Amino acid sequence: MADMEQILDHKYAIDRDCMTLSRHVLQQSHSFSSEAQDLSALMSRIALAAKLIARRLTRAGLVEDALGFTGQTNVQGEAVKKMDVYANQVFISVFEQSGLVCRLASEEMEEPYYIPENCPIGRYTLLYDPIDGSSNLDTNLNVGAIFAIRRQEGDDLDGTGQDLLQSGRSQIAAGYVLFGPSTLLVYSIGTGVHTFTLDPSLGEFILSHENVQIPAHGPVYSVNEGNFWQWDESIRDYIRYVHRHEGYTARYGGALVGDFHRILNQGGVFLYPGTVQKPEGKLRLLYESAPLAFLIEQAGGRASTGTEEILDVVPRELHARTPLIIGSRDDVSLVESFIQERQREEREKTTWEWAKDER
């Protein structure tokens, strides 16, 4: 008969493999309320979407019509990849017949998408970027999916999602899927940030890192320096600073989720500032910056436009963009200090010119 020590050894391993996403959400909710049950079911559906997309990605080079462009452009004016369309549909399909999500708002769809049979009982809206970083697809580099869940409040009378134009503080859950060597699902319902790793042999996401906390400072700065010529002088000041001080290292993968995941785990800062061509920046608020800002604050970090907390920004339209500076508390503040210094100098210059004109 096995002795107690052997039984306990098995128990740890079995318990670990039993810490699935749906069980963890209920444990984090400390409740079996209807909302807790809803969140658990929502996360399970997102996990199913992640598995379906991961399965296609791992075989994309072998599957007819999986890679390459569709020849269309999306509402962002970006060329649409076949995988963008596939992943967008996967998220829709996993929520049909769910009774959970009445409406989905996606980077790939100009207007929100309604699932009539889920409305009005469906009490939630899913906002998502189904494949983020799709420029990496054809070279087998990491891509991601980003999601946020908001309660379905108010009436979207004209179907354009005007009721979604609220700050990120109204998110009740957020996360991302990182399709890399492992498929990771990182989420928060406001009780910390937790990482799950897909075990393909089980077909389950299993808890691999609970209560992720970002260091107050880290060595990594992640930005596309090819845009240097397009940046505000204050951002150039920050880049010149890190070029001239020891202890910094540049990492940029061209896909937000992978760059963010590195910062979350190692510390540092990711920046996508406004440019001459895109003064508001490139990244979208509702389904890219706001979900990641929700996560980073839960992990002890910060997310800013440079002058405002991302989670306080109220968008004027569904696909609104914002500049994004996100990561370790001290590193985000350092970038902001260069912006504040330039603003101070500008005010002094204006005052001086005004005084000179008065003389």
Asked if residue 108 binds ligand P6P (CB under 6 A), the reply is no
Q: Any idea which residue has 């985000």 for tokens? A: 332
Q: Give 28 or 136: the residue with its C-beta nearer to ligand P6P.
A: 136
Nearest-approach distance from CB 230 to ligand P6P, in angstroms: 10
Asked if residue 76 binds ligand P6P (CB under 6 A), the reply is no
Nearest-approach distance from CB 190 to ligand P6P, in angstroms: 25
Asked if residue 254 binds ligand P6P (CB under 6 A), the reply is yes
Q: Give 178 or 256: the residue with its C-beta nearer to ligand P6P.
A: 256
How far apart, in Å, are the Cα atoms of 82 and each of 13, 42, 68?
A: 40, 26, 6
Binding mask 194-233 for ligand P6P (x = CB under 6 A): ------------------------------x---------
Contact present, 130 and 93 (Cβ < 8 Å): no
Interface pick for ligand P6P out of 282, 302, 321, 329 (rule CB under 6 A):
282
Asked if residue 97 binds ligand P6P (CB under 6 A), the reply is no
Nearest-approach distance from CB 142 to ligand P6P, in angstroms: 10
Nearest-approach distance from CB 324 to ligand P6P, in angstroms: 9
184: tokens are 């990771």
The CA distance from 340 to 334, in Å, is 10
The CA distance from 121 to 319, in Å, is 26
Binding mask 120-139 for ligand P6P (x = CB under 6 A): ------------xx-x----
Q: Give 213 or 224: the residue with its C-beta nearer to ligand P6P.
A: 224
Nearest-approach distance from CB 136 to ligand P6P, in angstroms: 8
Chain-centre distance for alpha carbon 39:
18
Nearest-approach distance from CB 285 to ligand P6P, in angstroms: 13
The CA distance from 172 to 162, in Å, is 18
209: tokens are 């890192």
Residues 6+ apart with CB under 8 A from 12: none
Q: Give 196 or 287: the residue with its C-beta nearer to ligand P6P.
A: 287
For the segment 287-306, give every residue that binds ligand P6P (CB under 6 A). Answer: none
β-bridge pairing 79-81 and 101-106: unpaired
Asked if residue 255 binds ligand P6P (CB under 6 A), the reply is yes
Q: Give 261 or 282: the residue with its C-beta nearer to ligand P6P.
A: 282
Q: Which residues bind ligand P6P (CB under 6 A)?
A: 132-133, 135, 224, 254-256, 282
